[in-house]
Amino acid sequence: MSTFKNADEVYTYIGGIFEIATKEPAFVEATAGTGLVVKLIQNDPDAVMVIDFPGQLVTSGDAARNMEATVQLRMSSDNSNRFWQGKLNFTLAMAQRKVKLDGKRSIALKLLPLTAGLFDVYKKLLVDAGREDLLIR
């Protein structure tokens, strides 16, 4: 059973951290001129988001399903939650096929070191929303 009750929660919390990331100066600088658009397909619960880094835009749900992307990322919603708390080693998860990454992988992988700076931001987002139950201890 997922820690998220439904896709709307995934969009609120995982989508919320991507909203922050797309405007974070380090991400803006790192993705400038790359055309990096990531389609994140999650299961349990099913959720789809398109993160357009150059456009600084996150689209979710039905609106995102047919959008084009340069990178496609597949994982469970729980693994997204773990990742944004610094509790999922992305490279190991890829090797274990818990995370699947297709497309312009090298560009997307360059962002990994930048994500650590947002782990505390994500946890605060959860705490501020009263969702300490989503925190991994």
Give the model confidence (pLDDT) of 25-77 as tens digits.
999 999 999 999 999 999 999 999 999 999 999 999 999 999 999 999 999 99
What global pTM score does this model have?
Answer: 0.94
Measure the CA–CA gap between 121 and 96, rounded to whole angstroms: 27
Secondary structure element (H or E) that encloses residue 37, with its range: strand 37-43
Q: Say which residues have a Cβ less than 8 Å from residue 19's Cβ, sequence separation at least 6.
A: 58
Q: What is the DSSP letter of 24?
A: S
